[in-house]
Structure 1
Amino acid sequence: MKYIALLAAALLIGADQLIKYWAMESLSQVGTMPVLGDVFQLTYVENRGAAFGILKGQKWILVGVTSLVIIGAIIFLLIKNLKSKTLIWAIALIISGGIGNLIDRIVRGYVVDYLYFKLIDFYVFNLADACVCVGVGLVIIYLIFIEPKLQKQKAQAQTADGGLSEQE
């Protein structure tokens, strides 16, 4: 399962880079392209910071931190005996998004963003950002809802086994 998730991450990185290439070649010429009227549009932005534009101009700090997170996530995914498909896919999404934006920062000096929800005036973002956000969201869901349930089941199973051993 881990290797399938990493293969999917590689495909997402490829898709992210292809879309960013298209945005630089085509979308940058027009700036904005309405998709759903005043709801959603494609807007070319060169983001020289992190999420929501923070840490502008701190390229090497962003490259360093992102690289450490990616390396840590890959090591964690490969070394740990993860049984949760949710956690495996969440980590793969974080890796793919991190690498997609890392490529931009190293090669271009900025991250290409292009997705804009005009209706709610949300920041312009990209596929890699979406992967990281969904991945982090899944990790949070796992930690809050799934892991405690698994721990409770494990404790109940140990209690049940202990009870049987005492009766024998």
Structure 2
Amino acid sequence: MLVYVLAVVVFGLDQLIKYIVRTSMAVNQEIPIWPHVLVLDYIRNPGAAWGMFGNDRWLLILIALMVIGAVIYVQSRYRLRRVYQVGLGLVLGGALGNLLDRILYGKVIDYIYFQVINYPVFNLADSAIVVGVLLILLQTLRSGRNEEQKPSEEK
């Protein structure tokens, strides 16, 4: 249940922020939040991270649907620790947010720009996906290490 609650929260916040950006800013408009560090920069990204697969809208929709299906399958099939549920909820909410953009607009609405490091413009959904995947990977690595440290049972 936690997976779906968190996914709805992420999806809702993502779409709310994108709505505010879409209705309050012009495409390519920049609003400095912290000058030379953090800028609201409204762009429409046709691709994935760093603009990859820019002309492959349907491929990106298919990938998002596969990720969503995988999250639903894993969540329904396995009894997961809370950290995995949080990670999957973040991934699901982010994937749904960007999927809706691709379906409705053909592009993903991005707006967060760390100008100080010239990092590509991104959005809340992107952040949720990255944090979710990192949580899952770190917990998996941590669990693997704990298994290695357990003394093996002799037969």
Partner residue of 2:137? 140
Tell me the amino acid that sits aligned with residue 98 of structure 1: A
3-state secondary structure, aligned to 1:55 = coil
1:28-73 Cα offsets, whole Å, 9 max, x none, are 2670000011110100010000111000011000001110111111
Deviation, 1:140, is 1.5
Are 1:98 and 2:65 counterparts? no
When normalised by structure 1's length, the TM-score is 0.86
Between the aligned partners of 1:30 and 1:121, the Cα distance in structure 2 is 15
1:75-115 Cα offsets, whole Å, 9 max, x none, are 10121111x21111111111110010000001110000000
Partner residue of 1:121? 118
Between the aligned partners of 2:61 and 2:19, the Cα distance in structure 1 is 20
Structure 2: stretches of 5+ with no match in the other structure: none
Partner residue of 2:5? 7
Q: CA RMSD in A?
A: 1.7
Tell me the amino acid that sits aligned with residue 13 of structure 1: F
When normalised by structure 2's length, the TM-score is 0.93
Partner residue of 1:109? 106
Q: Percent of aligned pairs with the same residue?
A: 32
Which protein is bigger by CA-based radius of gyration?
1
Structure 1: stretches of 5+ with no match in the other structure: 164-168
Return the structure number with greater helix share: 1
Partner residue of 1:27? 25
**Number of residues of Structure 1 aligned to a counterpart in Structure 2:** 155
Between the aligned partners of 1:147 and 1:79, the Cα distance in structure 2 is 21
Moved over 4 A (4+): none
1:124-167 Cα offsets, whole Å, 9 max, x none, are 00000000000111111112223331x246x54x72xx68xxxx
Higher relative CO (CA 8 A, sep ≥ 6), structure 1 or 2? 2
Between the aligned partners of 2:132 and 2:5, the Cα distance in structure 1 is 16
Are 1:63 and 2:64 counterparts? no
Between the aligned partners of 2:127 and 2:72, the Cα distance in structure 1 is 19
Between the aligned partners of 1:29 and 1:123, the Cα distance in structure 2 is 16
